[in-house]
Chains A and B, each alone.
Chain A
Amino acid sequence: MSKLTLNRRRFLGTAAAGTAMLASPAYLRKAYAQGGEVNIWTYNDFVPAAFKEQFEAETGIKINVRLVDDQGKQFNLLAAEAPNPTVDIMTVAGHRFLQFIESDLLAPLDTDRLSNWGNINPTFSESDWATIKGSKWGAPILSGMEVLAYNTDYVTAEEAETWDTLFSEKYKGQTAYVIQDMMSIVMLMMGYDGNMVAYMDDPEKAAAIVEEAKNFLIEKKPLVRKYYDGGAEVQQMFVNQDIVLGHSWNGPAAALINDGLPIAMSIPKEGSYGFVYTFNIANNCPNPDNAYTFLNAILGSPEIGAAMTKASGFISTYKGASEFLTDAEKKATSFPEEQLANLQFFRAEANEMKYGLVDPAVEAIKAA
């Protein structure tokens, strides 16, 4: 990983500006004076090492990172700790907000306390999923999407323009996907709203749609090599050539491309879903002031966003972050405009109904 060169003067400048701008910058003063710590649950490399070092030196606040590897575990852990969590900041995917919010695990984000909030690309910070119950719940940092990844030695770019290829006889036994995610995409392929927000008032229609998608995936079960769960799994399958195409998140696929493997990805014409990783503040967290200081600092410069992209393969939500990427990195983390037009975000409003129907369907597909 190339070294992160954070502009020290600019960093200080922003912090000072923030202090000057806010009417009551008590949290900053307190942080500077007291030091203390901030506890973070996040993925490997989501908090760049160089940033961590600099932040600790300048604020005296110690960053304790606890590495996590999945959303469900974070939820279980937090649920087990509530109502007195040890954590200040977590990393929740935007469409998983609701589950955390309804269990009273997240605190609403006071964006007025974040002078650098404006550094985030509004596509992400002001998107429809970002506001729930009238509040913001997290600061977007990285964006991912469901893509069709393929081995360019075997699959052509034309074939990768449609999800249908994933279910064709030609690639029998050479495909893989995450069933849960695929359910949403299959609904989209069939012309329905995979977020199910459109059917919130019509549960019968929703059930029928899920049933249709379920039957489709059961019918296509003989063609698939593997239902997988984690990014590392799909990467290994591509490396071992156990599969030549599969549904993937863009991050893991980008890492394969960056390593020089003959992999490419596309957003097929039927469309696909995107999601956003956000930093969130835990409800009743032990160090709320330090948490805000941290959030504001990490949003401070596009270089930090670029460093996160380099490490994870996901796309930065920061304005101007791509200027700090090499050409190869840019290529692995960008899509043609016409493909991006097919993308929409996952939404959480109908999650309870959706997953109430989808989870049993997933079990049924696995059991079939």
Chain B
Amino acid sequence: MTFEASVRTEHGGTAPKTADRTFWGRLANWAPYRVLAGLATASPRRQFVILAALPLVWVLTQHLGPMLQMLRVSLTDAYPVAPNVQQSFTFEHYMKFFQDSLFWMPFFRTLTFAGVFTFCTLILTYPVAYFLARHVSQKNRMLMLLMLLIPFWVGEIVRTYAIMILLGNTGAVNLLLKWLGFIDRPIPFMYTSFSMGVGIVYLTALYMMLPLYSALEKLPKSFNEAAADLGAGAWTRFRRVTLPLTIEGIASGCTLVFLISTGFYATPVLLGGPSTTVFAETIAGFFHVAGDQWPTGAAFATIMFLGALLITVTFQKIMNSLRKGDVR
């Protein structure tokens, strides 16, 4: 839609140099602008420097800065520093993780959960994104997509409590099943990995949906038609044409969802059970419960982050080789 729009502007308006009366023409001929633009675009090198300056300064100071501070805290022996105490650097907080097998369980559990939930989100949202991108008319598409986005506007906590009254022993689902006569005693859905999954997929669906949708939308219809002409069945077409061509969308959606779901805190804590403790809870414990263990919390957060990053990079590598293999 916008592609057409921008083409239209291109042809409708007149070329900048000749059209002195349009806004752009006047701007282009306005002396101060010309001096500035001339200075800024004098050489490709200068152009690049000016283009790169703000992003560089921003990401280095704003994105990296806080994390470096965090890293620094994770290497100090105590934080916040009591007055008149010399701060010293140490690796002991990192060692704590590797020395005590206690922390490994929640760590690996988190990675496993994140993997499983990412997969569930993918399975659930792929058909939905597919339906939206391929079977819904242009006109309704935006509306139907927006409809799915509305619930995400409600805060995480309120939504999580809504899931509690959906799945609780006297929750909506149990009441319905009882009324239909399927059950006599309520099914304990809550505080299991099931209820946790219901809550987490709710949070991650959006992050998966958008990349999938844009990948599927880009896919030309003609590809499928050509395959159909060659006599390929629906499943074969999907497996041989659609899936390989959307693998980039799948990869970026999964990466995003995986990394984000390793960091979830409130939802797993509220919806999970006694045996679903995640690492974020362990980390938060160092900040909340035992207040003065910031360095340990920071060190553990770094470990979590690096672990998740390692898995994501491996995953990306696999997806890359998969893509190459399929194209061949």
Chains A and B in contact, CB within 8 Å: yes
Chain A interfacial positions (CB closer than 8 Å to B)? 70, 72-73, 75-76, 79-80, 82-83, 99, 102-104, 173, 180, 221, 224-227, 229, 233, 236-237, 239-242, 355, 359-360, 362-364, 366-367
Q: Given A226-B273, A229-B269, A366-B277, verify A180-B289 contact (CB < 8 Å).
A: yes
Chain A residues in 8 Å Cβ range of B190:
225-226, 240, 242
B102, B270, B290: which contacts A364 (Cβ < 8 A)?
B102
Chain A residues in 8 Å Cβ range of B170:
239-241
Chain A residues in 8 Å Cβ range of B19:
none
Tell me whether B181 is interfacial, beta carbon within 8 Å: no
Chain A residues in 8 Å Cβ range of B274:
221, 224-227, 366
Nearest B residue to A70, CB-CB: B288
> How far, in angstroms, from A91 to B288 measured CA to CA in the complex?
15
Chain B residues in 8 Å Cβ range of A360:
100, 102
Contact: B80 with A242, CB < 8 Å?
Answer: no
Sorted nearest first, the 5 A-B pairs with minimum C-beta distance are: A240-B168, A72-B288, A366-B277, A75-B291, A367-B105
Tell me whether B212 is interfacial, beta carbon within 8 Å: no
Among B80, B102, B170, B281: residue with most chain A CB under 10 A: B80
Tell me whether B191 is interfacial, beta carbon within 8 Å: yes
Chain B residues in 8 Å Cβ range of A73:
288
- How near does chain A come to B178, taking the closest CB pair, in angstroms? 12
Chain A residues in 8 Å Cβ range of B83:
83, 104
Contact: A240 with B164, CB < 8 Å?
Answer: yes
Tell me whether B106 is interfacial, beta carbon within 8 Å: yes
Chain A residues in 8 Å Cβ range of B191:
225-226, 242
Residue-wise interface mask of B (250-276) relative to A, using a CB-CB cutoff of 8 A (1 in contact, 0 not): 000000000000000000011001110
Contact: A367 with B277, CB < 8 Å?
Answer: yes
> How far, in angstroms, from A224 to B270 measured CA to CA in the complex?
15
Chain B residues in 8 Å Cβ range of A224:
274
> How far, in angstroms, from A236 to B164 measured CA to CA in the complex?
8
Contact: A82 with B80, CB < 8 Å?
Answer: yes
- How near does chain A come to B164, taking the closest CB pair, in angstroms? 6
Q: Given A240-B168, A240-B169, verify A79-B290 contact (CB < 8 Å).
A: no
- How near does chain A come to B159, taking the closest CB pair, in angstroms? 14
Nearest A residue to B278, CB-CB: A366
A76, A226, A227, A367: which contacts B291 (Cβ < 8 A)?
A76
Contact: A225 with B273, CB < 8 Å?
Answer: yes
A76, A99, A102, A103: which contacts B287 (Cβ < 8 A)?
A76
Chain A contact residues, majority secondary structure: helix
Tell me whether B103 is interfacial, beta carbon within 8 Å: yes
Q: Given A104-B83, A225-B273, verify A236-B161 contact (CB < 8 Å).
A: yes
Chain A residues in 8 Å Cβ range of B171:
240
Contact: B102 with A355, CB < 8 Å?
Answer: no
Chain B interfacial positions (CB closer than 8 Å to A)? 80, 82-83, 100, 102-103, 105-106, 161, 164-165, 168-171, 186, 188, 190-191, 269-270, 273-275, 277, 281-282, 285, 287-292, 294
Nearest A residue to B109, CB-CB: A367
Contact: A355 with B290, CB < 8 Å?
Answer: yes
Q: List 10 A-B contacts (CB under 8 A).
A: A79-B291, A82-B80, A103-B292, A104-B82, A104-B83, A227-B274, A233-B270, A239-B168, A240-B165, A366-B281
Contact: A242 with B169, CB < 8 Å?
Answer: yes
- How near does chain A come to B235, taking the closest CB pair, in angstroms? 43
Contact: A72 with B289, CB < 8 Å?
Answer: yes
Contact: B106 with A72, CB < 8 Å?
Answer: no
B165, B188, B275, B285: which contacts A363 (Cβ < 8 A)?
B285
Chain B residues in 8 Å Cβ range of A227:
274
B102, B164, B168, B186: which contacts A367 (Cβ < 8 A)?
B102
> How far, in angstroms, from A366 to B281 measured CA to CA in the complex?
10
> How far, in angstroms, from A70 to B270 measured CA to CA in the complex?
15
Chain A residues in 8 Å Cβ range of B165:
236, 240
Contact: A242 with B273, CB < 8 Å?
Answer: no
- How near does chain A come to B112, taking the closest CB pair, in angstroms? 14
- How near does chain B come to A91, taking the closest CB pair, in angstroms? 15
Nearest A residue to B282, CB-CB: A363
> How far, in angstroms, from A366 to B285 measured CA to CA in the complex?
12
- How near does chain B come to A70, taking the closest CB pair, in angstroms? 7
- How near does chain A come to B286, taking the closest CB pair, in angstroms? 9
> How far, in angstroms, from A271 to B323 measured CA to CA in the complex?
65
- How near does chain B come to A235, taking the closest CB pair, in angstroms? 11
Contact: B188 with A173, CB < 8 Å?
Answer: yes
Among B270, B285, B290: residue with most chain A CB under 10 A: B290
> How far, in angstroms, from A70 to B164 measured CA to CA in the complex?
22
- How near does chain A come to B184, taking the closest CB pair, in angstroms? 15
> How far, in angstroms, from A83 to B83 measured CA to CA in the complex?
9
> How far, in angstroms, from A99 to B294 measured CA to CA in the complex?
14
Q: Given A240-B190, A359-B285, verify A80-B291 contact (CB < 8 Å).
A: no
Chain A residues in 8 Å Cβ range of B285:
359, 362-363
Nearest B residue to A366, CB-CB: B277
> How far, in angstroms, from A226 to B161 measured CA to CA in the complex?
15
> How far, in angstroms, from A366 to B272 measured CA to CA in the complex?
12
Could you list 15 further interchain pairs (A-B, Cβ under 8 angstroms) beyond the known A99-B292, A236-B168, A360-B102? A75-B291, A80-B80, A104-B82, A224-B274, A226-B190, A226-B274, A229-B269, A236-B161, A236-B164, A239-B168, A240-B169, A240-B190, A242-B169, A362-B289, A366-B277
Q: Given A72-B289, A242-B188, verify A103-B80 contact (CB < 8 Å).
A: yes
